[in-house]
């Protein structure tokens, strides 16, 4: 009878494991904003939009990081960033038309301890551009925020064939109620991150132009991606 008891235990464990795998709640990858100070941005939207568009020169522009100002072309935007507590990194991302970013994980020293806030400066068109994170998707809407876990596999996209999208990103320390991230990417030195930003290397390494015959219904978030790469 011992063998029958053993088989019963194994079956019970297998069933329990199956139920845990398929029914256990999936960790959140998008969050509600947990700092009220970001509400000032929509009230100053046209001011910072004009400033950012005027000086927009590359796909990724760092504004603030490592406790210091990296670019001084955005004083009004920086003044608003100073209102947000626990900011670690901030910059501007421009998504050109027909753009799909390779799936990637942000470097561990940033992503595992922060949540990335995206504020849409200029959207291409409704439900045309946004971010995919670990199977879930959100669309960029002008004057609105999206908060996501960049330690999970993610990708930015812009399905619009003519218009670009511009977003401000702000990395803020994780709230104590949010689990630590799990990015597998090793750290990159400060000088190397800034050099990669300024050289525009991320545009060529992490993005690809979409085909001309792309339909509006095509899901960019689950297409053919290159191997995961490192992003700031």
pLDDT above 90 for 202: no
CATH topology of domain 30-231: Jelly Rolls (2.60.120)
* C-alpha closest to that of 94 among 71, 128, 120, 126: 120
Check pLDDT > 80 for residue 224: no
Cα–Cα dist 149/30, whole Å: 6
State residue 3's pLDDT score.
Answer: 64
Q: Are strands 87-95 and 165-173 parallel, antiparallel or unpaired?
A: antiparallel
pLDDT of 90 above 90: yes
What is the predicted pLDDT for the residue at 185?
81
Beta bridge partners of 92: 61, 168
- The 10s digit of each residue's pLDDT in 114-162 is 999 999 999 988 889 999 999 999 999 999 999 999 999 999 999 999 9
Q: How far apart are CA 167 and CA 173, in angstroms?
A: 19
Specify the DSSP class assigned to residue 212. T
Q: What is the mean pLDDT of residues 63-81?
A: 91
pLDDT at 198 over 70: no
Question: So what's the pLDDT on residue 10?
Answer: 61
For residue 73, the model assigns a pLDDT of 94
DSSP alpha helices (H): ranges in 24-145? Answer: 40-43, 45-55, 75-81, 108-111
Chain mean pLDDT for the chain: 80
Distance, CA of 94 to CA of 106 (rounded, Å): 17
What is the residue-wise DSSP string for 19-59? HHHHHSPPPPSEE----GGGGHHHHTHHHHHHHHHHH--SS
Q: What is the pLDDT of residue 56?
A: 83
What are the structural domain ranges in the chain?
A: 30-231
Q: Which two tokens stand for residue 57?
A: 């020169």
Spatial contact of 118 and 224, defined as CB atoms under 8 Å apart: no
Q: Picking from 73-87, 181-195, 208-222, which range would have the lowest pLDDT averaged per residue? A: 208-222
């Amino acid at each position: 009878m011992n063998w029958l008891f053993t088989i019963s235990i194994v079956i019970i464990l297998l069933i329990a494991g199956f139920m845990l795998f398929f029914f256990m709640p999936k960790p959140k990858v998008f969050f509600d904003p947990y700092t009220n100070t970001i509400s000032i941005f929509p009230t100053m939207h046209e001011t910072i939009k004009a400033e950012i568009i005027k000086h927009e020169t590359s796909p990724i522009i760092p504004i603030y990081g490592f406790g210091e100002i990296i670019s001084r072309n955005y004083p009004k935007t920086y003044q608003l960033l100073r209102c947000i507590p626990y900011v670690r990194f901030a910059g501007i991302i421009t998504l050109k038309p027909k753009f799909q970013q390779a799936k990637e994980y942000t470097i561990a020293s940033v992503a595992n301890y922060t949540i990335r806030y995206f504020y849409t400066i200029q959207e291409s068109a409704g439900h045309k551009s946004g971010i995919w994170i670990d199977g879930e998707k959100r669309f960029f809407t002008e004057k609105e925020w999206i908060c996501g876990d960049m330690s999970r596999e993610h990708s930015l996209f812009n399905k619009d064939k003519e218009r670009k999208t511009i977003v401000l990103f702000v990395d803020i320390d994780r709230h104590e109620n949010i689990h630590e991230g799990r990015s597998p990417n090793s750290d990159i030195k400060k000088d190397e991150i800034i050099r990669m930003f300024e050289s525009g290397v991320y545009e060529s390494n992490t993005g690809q132009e979409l085909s001309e015959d792309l339909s509006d219904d095509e899901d960019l978030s689950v297409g053919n991606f290159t191997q995961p790469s490192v992003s700031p």
